[in-house]
Amino acid sequence: MADVAELAGVSTQTVSRVVNGSPRVDPATRSRVEAAMATAGYRVHRAARALRTGRTGVVGAVVSTLATVGNSMLLEAVVDEASVRGYAVAVARIGEGGPAEAFERLRDQGVDGAIVVNEASALLRQTELPTDLRLAVVDSPPDDRYAGVETAHAAGSAAATAHLRDLGHRVIAHVAGPASSYAAAERERGWRETLGAADLDPGPLLRGTWDSASGYRAGLELLANLDVSDPVTAIVVANDQMALGVLRAASELGILVPDQLSVVGFDDVADAANFTPALTTVRQRFDLLGQRAVAAVLDGAEAGSRDVIEAPLIVRGSSAAPFVQPA
């Protein structure tokens, strides 16, 4: 650090402030110090800094699976935000030993806190949580034991359902996510409550497992046995992957989207605009979820606090007014 200070023409205290991301350094000085660090080959010694500051510069992430698009996108956002803050991320997957074993593995790595990702949150309800780790949990019912960060799932699903209702659809089905998922339950709630407020009965509900194959199976079951006198004309799908499967089922059955069937997804994954037709969907801000979850851990959000992120509806080509058969 002294070598860097001499090269940059500043004090070692200024170098320390740059290393630790202090805002109390003007941009020109920061650039000069960073250039001197590069010239000198300076690297932060994490073990030494941990002894001095009590922080290791590592944040933990607890996951149950990375097979779902939502989980992988959220973890990517967590890694991006942690990196911006100068932190590394240690990932612990929940195995046979349950969440307690995953937390223990993270403890062994000396993490400064942990983020529990999506579906893994369901496994915390009957688990005794570590009191020595700062925790942020993404997508979980309110709990006084940790800070919560979530998408406005119910409000997003309600907006999707209201969009279809306002287009004139009266029988609106739902392809839901797994029964154990908090996000899936909230999206189902938004669908039910919006229809109920309009004095409309909920259409058929089938449940998938977040992947496109389960959406395809649900789509076949829904669309192959339509009540001709009162057919389903629209489907709210709990995520974009399952919506892709529904679109495939409709295509194979010769049902035109959106002429004969409107489909709305949830997430707005990067490929949603390139579906055929382009998918109307609810945008989930994974970038903000990752940023807020990391901030909750590293900046010390209060246990029991809730940070809810809006989920706007993105209207594209897969939704339209229902087809009216000419008299």
Residue 26 burial class via C-beta count within 10 angstroms: exposed 0-12, middle 13-18, buried 19 and up: exposed
Q: pLDDT-based confidence at 51, cuts 50/70/90?
A: very low
Note whether residue 319 is domain-resident.
no
Q: Which domain does 255 fall in, by range?
A: 153-284
Q: Are residues 293 and 280 in the same domain?
A: no
Note whether residue 315 is domain-resident.
no
Q: Are residues 303 and 190 in the same domain?
A: no
Q: Are residues 278 and 168 in the same domain?
A: yes
The CATH code of the domain that includes 5 is: 1.10.260.40
Identify the residue with better confidence: 20 or 218: 218
Note whether residue 50 is domain-resident.
no
Q: Are residues 185 and 291 in the same domain?
A: no
Note whether residue 37 is domain-resident.
yes
Mean of per-residue pLDDT scores for the chain: 90
The CATH code of the domain that includes 165 is: 3.40.50.2300
Q: Are residues 157 and 145 in the same domain?
A: no
Note whether residue 19 is domain-resident.
yes
User: 41-50, 76-85, 87-96, 165-174 — which is least confidently predicted?
Assistant: 41-50
Note whether residue 314 is domain-resident.
no
Q: Are residues 148 and 89 in the same domain?
A: yes
Work out how many domains the chain is built from and give that number.
3
pLDDT digits (tens, 9 = 90+) for 275-299: 999 999 999 999 999 999 999 999 9
Which string of DSSP letters, residue by residue, matches 82-145? HHHTT-EEEEEE--TTHHHHHHHHHHHTT-S-EEE-GGGGGGGTTSPPPSSS-EEEES----TT
Q: Are residues 275 and 164 in the same domain?
A: yes
State the greatest distance between any 2 C-alpha atoms of the chain, in Å, as a whole number: 88
Identify the residue with better confidence: 228 or 294: 294
Q: Are residues 148 and 290 in the same domain?
A: yes
Reported as half-sphere exposure (CB side, CA atoms, 13 A), residue 238 has a value of: 30
Residue 89 corresponds to which tokens in the numbers above? 């991320």
8 A C-beta contact, residue 176 and residue 222: no
| CA–CA dist 322, 305 (Å, integer) | 42
What local confidence, expressed as pLDDT, does residue 45 receive?
57
| CA–CA dist 248, 219 (Å, integer) | 8
Q: Are residues 22 and 77 in the same domain?
A: no
The sheet that has 280-283: what strands, in order across it?
205-207, 172-176, 234-237, 262-267, 280-283, 313-314
What local confidence, expressed as pLDDT, does residue 175 receive?
98
Q: pLDDT-based confidence at 135, cuts 50/70/90?
A: very high
8 A C-beta contact, residue 173 and residue 236: yes
| CA–CA dist 61, 105 (Å, integer) | 11
Q: Are residues 247 and 294 in the same domain?
A: no
What local confidence, expressed as pLDDT, does residue 127 receive?
82
Q: Are residues 161 and 116 in the same domain?
A: no
Identify the residue with better confidence: 21 or 271: 271
C-alpha separations of 83 from 48, 241, 252 in Å: 19, 28, 45
Q: Of the residues 284, 300, 319, which one is the last residue of a structural domain? A: 284
Note whether residue 4 is domain-resident.
yes
Note whether residue 36 is domain-resident.
yes
pLDDT digits (tens, 9 = 90+) for 183-199: 999 999 999 999 999 99
Residue 128 corresponds to which tokens in the numbers above? 């005794």
Q: Are residues 215 and 251 in the same domain?
A: yes
What local confidence, expressed as pLDDT, does residue 121 receive?
82
- Give Cα 202 distance to the centre of its chain: 26
Residue 226 pLDDT more than 80?
no
